């Protein structure tokens, strides 16, 4: 009895080792630079892709602009996920990549902890029943530009700005911190920041989604770098990101998919 | 009169003075090896460390009682520190002014400002920055600054330690005359027996953070085991004054001050040049080594100073050597160091009259 | 306003100087007693307190800024504490917030030089002043501060310069409100982000020249004072 058990377990172990060895023989590791706002989403997508293919993907997270600078200065990445399409276009223009694709579309949301923006955001904005409205810097961040467009469409931007009501974050995450900590009574944030399972305001506050036609789409572009030494593997990863399984994950985190 | 019992712990050092009491008039030397707690006791007495505990009275004023202490700024102490402790951001004049502005109008010895400046010789330095003063100049300013604040007690913490010999000699002169002329009770820290013999009226001996004993200078020099004696053996210190010899104005003699009612002055011929004559009382330092004994006056010998004396007592100083303590006609003490054999051959004993032959004597200028 | 043919909004420059001056003033008031207290402290806790004062040196500005907007926000502990004394409103997104943020962020730049200056004071000199009947206030004003003035000057200049150059904390606490909390460093960031390189270069040049002058003056003061104090 004991002997049989031993034999079985030994056989199982051997089988496991040989499977692992064959997997290792084919498995390759790729490194992809990811815009910081996409961190949690891509980790889940990456895990799904690794489970399916047996390859490894490592991520390097950072602000899109910093990652771009690193790539332009020879960083050994295989791919790049930007938070906008302007920066991917720069890499395409300079020949670092052949082309880029849109992997997600950001959705702008107006968040307030106390004010009922879910019911009458338009009135609140128009009447100015608040002290500060947080948004990202329109010059620096796509979400900031979108927020400005939403306000301009209603003819409110100049007035709020001149009254000193608009507080700007360097990035959308700062704008979110302003609103989430209550320093600003309401703020234009990314829907993904509200939907994140670990978001500090997940179960709190009110949300209004401005009509998507009120602002230019916040498209996020990704690309394969021509310097990659594993082009097939990266292409496979990119294809997976554009597939149905990944789209479900991406939508779950508050993004629209193309 | 100072009376107290102070303790103060500083890092690894513990001051536990034990009970002590001494008169404050004149000069009290705090004497002991380095690390014996002299400076710590002085700081404790000045009230400069609030960790000080115990008791201290100055006459009928309570300066320290347990944790409670009279603040240092209200004790009317003039302190001359080891490194002068000048205010680096002020001129010489500014340093004097700082003390002068805060001096009490209604108490303490009022010494004329100009006299202080003249005596300390800082007149030409008044507009200088203290950064450009020499070591000696710094200490002279420190003395002037202490005096101008009308102190009831002067405390002096080894002010000569950091100076060269010439500046040392000049400053010692200055201290001696200032202390004598202005009559401010002074406590002086030193580890140099010479300074004690020259300046002190009494000595507070310190060892390992304790006050070992308080003695008059006379008593301190009157025992063979005195801590004031160095490898050169016992020493006597005589009080008197210097005067020129009649007919021979270039030559000087030292005339002692009798210490007893029926005492007669004793006269020492000095080899010193007449130019170095100074005012006031002086002390003459005589090493036991330099004193020989004879049964009677001897003629035809180079030793000029042959003084009648009485043997007080004889003590052993080391193997084969004895100290013979003598009383001169003026009641002051002289000591002679001789061999056991000489004592036996001459049949010396207490109470006998002898002649002390003094080879040389140093004027403690 | 137009400078070298480039249109430039100079309000951020004035605001920056105002914030830097207020910060320096506030830090002199807070820093002198704090530095004195730390310099004279015997307790073993001193190491911890010194480390706390220096903490802004190692914390990333955005992290510090984040904690500040929590603490100073409408429901933050600082605001609620002030509410006990009848304070209403919030401390973020206004001049007050900028100054508070800068004060905390520049604390080590003021306290460290002052502490070193206080620690370098010779004990004998302070004792001498006491025995010359100078009470604590007298000593502090007439002996301690004049002797430690090098530390005061260096600390003030460094604080002023550091406040002028700060970006992360003031962006966070100030909220980059045009004409209200937009400082030079933030204005430069904005210009760069919107490809207005001429304005960015001009403002940067002004800041470089200013910072250089500041540092040169610190070194000059240092040399002169240390020469005088021997």
Judgement on whether residues A120 and A191 belong to the same structural domain of the protein: yes
The structural domains of chain B, with segments of one domain joined by +, span 2-218, 235-364
Number of structural domains, chain C? 1
- C140 is written with which tokens? 């502090």
Averaged pLDDT, C140-150 = 93
Query: Can you tell me the mean pLDDT for B206-233?
Result: 92
Kind and range of the H or E element at A222?
A: strand A218-225
Does residue A15 carry a pLDDT above 60?
no
| Residue C3: pLDDT band with limits 50, 70, 90 | confident
pLDDT (tens digit, 9 = 90+) per residue, B250-297?
A: 778 889 999 888 888 998 888 765 555 566 778 889 999 999 999 988
Cβ–Cβ gap A184/C177 under 8 Å = no
Contact B338, B317 (CB under 8 A): no
**Which CATH number goes with the domain that contains A79?**
3.40.190.10
What are the chain C neighbours of A134 within 8 Å (beta carbons)? 175
Q: What is the pLDDT of residue B359?
A: 85
How far is residue B316's CA from residue B40's CA, in Å, rounded to a whole number? 35
Q: Verify that A184 and A113 share a domain, yes or no.
A: yes
A14 within some domain: no
Question: Tens of pLDDT along A68-96?
Answer: 888 888 888 999 999 889 899 999 999 99
Is C178 near chain A, with CB under 8 Å? yes
**A140 contacts in chain C (CB < 8 Å):** 189-190, 193
The count of structural domains within chain A is 2
Mean pLDDT within B57-82: 94
Residue A241: pLDDT band (50, 70, 90) is: very high
Collapsed DSSP state (helix, strand, coil) of residue B339: strand
Q: In which domain, by residue range, is A34 found?
A: 27-106+217-252
Return the minimum-mean-pLDDT range out of A64-78, A98-112, B72-86: A64-78
Q: Domain B235-364: which topology? A: OB fold (Dihydrolipoamide Acetyltransferase, E2P) (2.40.50)
| pLDDT in the model for residue B137 | 93
- Same domain? A74 vs A115: no
Rg of chain A taking only CA atoms, in angstroms: 23
pLDDT at A55 over 50: yes
pLDDT at C145 over 90: yes
Query: Tokens 């330095």 correspond to what residue?
Result: B125
ipTM (interface predicted TM): 0.85
pLDDT at A255: 93
Q: How does strand A133-136 pair with strand A29-35?
A: unpaired
Shared domain check, A221 and A101: yes
Q: What is the spatial distance between Cα A68 and Cα A72, in angstroms, rounded to a whole number?
A: 6
Question: Within a domain: residue A183?
Answer: yes
pLDDT at B272 (0 to 100): 60
Neighbour count for residue C20 (Cβ, 10 Å): 24
Residue B128 pLDDT exceeds 90:
yes
**Over residues C160-183, mean pLDDT:** 86
Complete DSSP assignment for B296-325 = S--SS-S--EEEEEEEEEEEEEETTEEEEE
Residues A125-134: tens digit of each pLDDT: 988 889 999 9
| A138 lies in the same domain as A183 | yes
- C-alpha span between C189 and C196 (Å, rounded): 10
The answer to whether position A7 is within a domain reads no
Given CB atoms, is A167 within the 8 Å cutoff of chain C? yes
Decide if pLDDT at C186 tops 70.
yes
Among B75, B85, B99, select the one facing C124 at the smallest CB separation: B85
- Between CA A55 and CA A48 the distance in angstroms is 11
- C132 → closest Cβ in B71, B89, B102: B102
Q: Are residues C179 and C8 in contact, defined by beta-carbon separation less than 8 angstroms?
A: no
Residues found in chain C: 230
The residue with greater pLDDT, C132 or A72, is: C132
CATH code, domain carrying C23: 1.10.3720.10
Q: What residues does A136 pair with on adjacent strands?
A: A169
> What's the pTM value of the predicted model, to 2 decimals?
0.79
Q: Which of C131, C142, C146 sits opposite B77 (nearest CB)?
A: C131
What's the CATH class of domain B2-218? alpha beta
What is the rounded CA–CA span in Å between residue C127 and residue C117?
17
Burial grade of C225 (CB within 10 A; 0-12, 13-18, 19 or more): middle
Residues of B in contact with C228 (CB under 8 A): 129, 131
Judge: C176–A161 Cβ closer than 8 Å, yes or no. no
Question: How confident is the prediction for chain A on average, in pLDDT?
Answer: 87
Handedness of CA B301, B305, B311, B314 (dihedral sign): negative
CA–CA dist C97, B257 (Å, integer): 82
Spell out which chain B residues touch chain C, with contact meaning CB-CB distance below 8 angstroms. Answer: 43, 46, 48, 71-79, 81-83, 85-89, 98-99, 102-104, 129, 131, 145, 149
Identify all chain C residues contacting B145, using CB atoms and an 8 Å cutoff: 132
Number of Cβ within 10 Å of residue A84's Cβ equals 19
A53 plus A145 within the same structural domain: no
pLDDT grade for C230, boundaries at 50, 70 and 90: very low
Q: From the CA of C134, how many Å to the nearest CA of chain A?
A: 50
Q: What is the dihedral of CA A191, A192, A197, A198, to 10 degrees?
A: -100
Would you state the structure tokens that stand for residue A71, as one six-digit string?
């790539």
Q: Where are the beta strands (DSSP E) in A7-51?
A: 29-35
Q: Which residue of A has its CA nearest to C168?
A: A170
| Domain containing residue C176 | 2-41+50-229
pLDDT value, residue A95? 92
Q: What is the pLDDT of residues C67-101, one digit of tens each?
A: 888 888 888 888 888 888 888 778 888 898 899 99
Lowest mean pLDDT among A90-94, A213-217, B243-247: B243-247
Nearest to A168 among C72, C73, C175 (CB): C175
Whether residue A8 lies inside any domain: the answer is no
pLDDT over threshold 90, residue B362 = no
- Is A139 close to C62, i.e. CB distance below 8 A? no
Hey, is the C-beta of C165 within 8 angstroms of any chain A C-beta? no
Measured between alpha carbons, how far is B22 from A227 in angstroms, rounded to an integer? 94
Are B87 and C135 within 8 A, CB to CB? no
Query: What stretches of A32-186 show up as alpha helix (H) in DSSP?
Result: 39-53, 64-72, 86-93, 117-127, 142-153, 157-162, 172-180
Distance of CA C56 to the CA centre of its chain: 11
Share of chain C above pLDDT 90, in %: 42
pLDDT in tens, B22-44: 999 999 999 998 889 999 999 99
**C67 or B363, which is more confident:** C67
Q: Are residues A138 and A153 in the same domain?
A: yes
Shared domain check, A203 and A113: yes
Could you say which of C125, C133, C228 has the minimum Cβ distance to residue B73?
A: C133
Q: In this predicted model, what pLDDT tens digit does every residue of B321-335 receive, in sequence order?
A: 999 999 999 999 999
- pLDDT of residue A41 exceeding 60, the answer is yes
Same-domain pairing of A54 and A178: no
**In whole angstroms, what is the distance from residue C84 CA to residue C95 CA?**
22
Q: Could you tell me the strand order of the sheet in which A133-136 lies?
A: A166-169, A133-136, A186-190, A108-112, A206-208
Asked if B159 and B139 count as a contact pair (C-beta separation under 8 A), the reply is yes
What pLDDT does A2 receive? 52
pLDDT at C142 over 70: yes
Sequence length of chain B is 365
Question: Three-state SS for C131?
Answer: helix
Closest chain C CA to residue A169? C175
How far is it, in rounded angstroms, from Cα B125 to Cα C57?
Answer: 47
Question: What confidence tens digit (pLDDT) does each residue in B163-201 have?
Answer: 888 888 888 888 888 888 888 999 999 988 988 998 899
Subunits with 3+ Cβ pairs within 8 Å of C are A, B
Find chain B residues with C-beta within 8 A of C127's C-beta: 43, 46, 48, 72, 79, 81, 85
Q: Alpha-carbon distance B229 to B222, whole Å?
A: 11
């Amino acid at each position: 009895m004991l002997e049989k058990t031993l034999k079985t377990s030994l056989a199982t172990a051997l089988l496991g080792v040989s499977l692992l060895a064959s997997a290792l023989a084919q498995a390759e590791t790729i490194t992809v630079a990811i815009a910081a706002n996409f961190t949690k989403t891509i980790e889940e997508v990456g895990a799904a892709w690794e489970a399916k293919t047996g390859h490894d993907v490592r991520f390097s997270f950072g602000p899109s602009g910093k990652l771009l600078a690193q790539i332009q200065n020879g960083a050994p990445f295989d791919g790049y996920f930007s938070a906008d399409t302007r920066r991917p276009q720069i890499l395409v223009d300079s020949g670092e990549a052949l082309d880029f694709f849109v992997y997600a579309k950001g959705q702008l949301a107006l968040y307030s902890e106390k004010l009922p923006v879910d019911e009458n955001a338009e009135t609140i904005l128009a009447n100015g029943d608040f002290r500060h409205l947080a948004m990202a810097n329109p010059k620096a961040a796509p979400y900031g530009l979108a927020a400005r467009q939403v306000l301009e469409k209603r003819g409110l931007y100049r007035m709020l700005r001149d009254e000193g009501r608009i507080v700007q974050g360097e990035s959308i995450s700062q704008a979110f911190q302003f609103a989430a900590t209550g320093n600003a009574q309401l703020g234009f944030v990314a829907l993904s920041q509200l939907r994140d399972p670990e978001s500090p305001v997940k179960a709190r506050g009110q949300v209004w989604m401005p009509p998507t036609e009120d602002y230019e789409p916040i498209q996020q572009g990704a690309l394969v770098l021509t310097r990659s030494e594993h082009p097939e593997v990266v292409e496979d990863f990119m294809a997976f990101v554009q597939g149905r399984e990944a789209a479900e994950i991406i939508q779950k985190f508050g993004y629209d998919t193309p | 009169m100072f009376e107290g019992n102070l303790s103060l712990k500083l890092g690894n050092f513990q001051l536990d003075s034990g009970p002590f009491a001494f008169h404050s008039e004149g000069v009290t030397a705090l004497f002991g090896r380095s690390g014996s707690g002299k400076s710590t006791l002085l700081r404790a007495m000045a009230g400069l460390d609030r960790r000080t505990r115990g008791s201290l009275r100055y006459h009928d004023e309570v300066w320290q009682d347990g944790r409670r202490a009279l603040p240092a700024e209200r004790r009317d102490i003039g302190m001359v520190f080891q490194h002068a402790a000048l205010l680096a951001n002020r001129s010489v004049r500014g340093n004097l002014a700082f003390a002068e502005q805060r001096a009490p109008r209604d108490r303490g010895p009022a010494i004329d400002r100009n006299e202080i400046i003249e005596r300390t010789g800082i007149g030409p330095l008044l507009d200088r920055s203290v950064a450009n003063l020499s070591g000696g100049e710094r200490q002279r300013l420190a003395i002037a600054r202490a005096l101008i604040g009308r102190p009831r007690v002067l405390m002096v913490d080894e002010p000569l330690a950091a100076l060269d010999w010439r500046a040392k000699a000049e400053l010692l002169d200055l201290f001696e005359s200032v202390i004598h002329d202005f009559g401010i009770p002074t406590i002086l820290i030193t580890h140099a027996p010479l300074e004690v013999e020259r300046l002190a009226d009494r000595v507070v001996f310190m060892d390992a953070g304790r006050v070992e004993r308080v003695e008059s200078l006379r008593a301190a020099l009157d025992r063979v085991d005195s801590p004031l004696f160095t490898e050169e053996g016992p020493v006597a210190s005589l009080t008197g004054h210097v005067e020129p010899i009649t007919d021979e104005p270039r030559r000087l003699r030292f005339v002692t001050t009798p210490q007893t009612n029926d005492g007669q002055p004793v006269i020492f011929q000095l080899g010193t040049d007449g130019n170095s004559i100074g005012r006031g009382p002086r002390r003459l330092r005589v090493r036991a080594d330099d004193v020989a004994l004879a049964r009677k006056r001897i003629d035809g010998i180079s030793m000029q100073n042959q003084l009648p004396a009485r043997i007080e007592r004889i003590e052993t100083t080391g193997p084969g050597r004895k100290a013979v303590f003598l009383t001169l006609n003026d009641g002051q003490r002289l000591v002679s160091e001789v061999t056991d054999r000489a004592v036996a051959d001459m049949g010396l004993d207490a109470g006998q009259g002898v002649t002390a032959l003094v080879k040389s004597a140093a004027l403690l200028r | 306003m137009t400078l070298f043919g480039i249109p430039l909004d100079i309000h951020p420059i004035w605001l920056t100087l105002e914030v830097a001056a207020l910060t320096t003033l506030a830090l002199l008031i807070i820093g002198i007693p704090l530095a004195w207290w730390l310099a004279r402290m015997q307790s073993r806790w001193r190491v911890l307190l010194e480390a706390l004062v220096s903490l802004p040196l190692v914390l990333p500005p955005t992290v510090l800024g984040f904690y500040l907007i929590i603490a100073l926000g409408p429901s933050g502990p600082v605001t609620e504490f002030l509410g006990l004394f009848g304070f209403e409103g919030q401390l973020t997104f206004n001049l007050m917030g900028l100054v508070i943020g800068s004060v905390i962020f520049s604390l080590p730049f003021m306290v460290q030089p002052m502490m070193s200056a206080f620690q370098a004071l010779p004990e004998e000199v302070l004792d001498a002043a006491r025995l010359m009947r100078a009470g604590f206030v007298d000593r502090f004003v007439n002996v301690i501060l004049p002797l430690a003035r090098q530390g005061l000057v260096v600390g003030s200049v460094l604080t002023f310069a550091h406040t002028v150059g700060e970006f992360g904390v003031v962006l966070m606490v100030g909220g980059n409100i045009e004409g209200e909390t937009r400082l030079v460093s933030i204005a430069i960031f904005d210009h760069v982000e919107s490809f207005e390189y001429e304005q960015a270069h001009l403002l940067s040049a002004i800041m470089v020249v200013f910072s250089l002058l500041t540092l040169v003056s610190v070194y000059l003061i240092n040399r002169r004072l240390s020469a005088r104090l021997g």
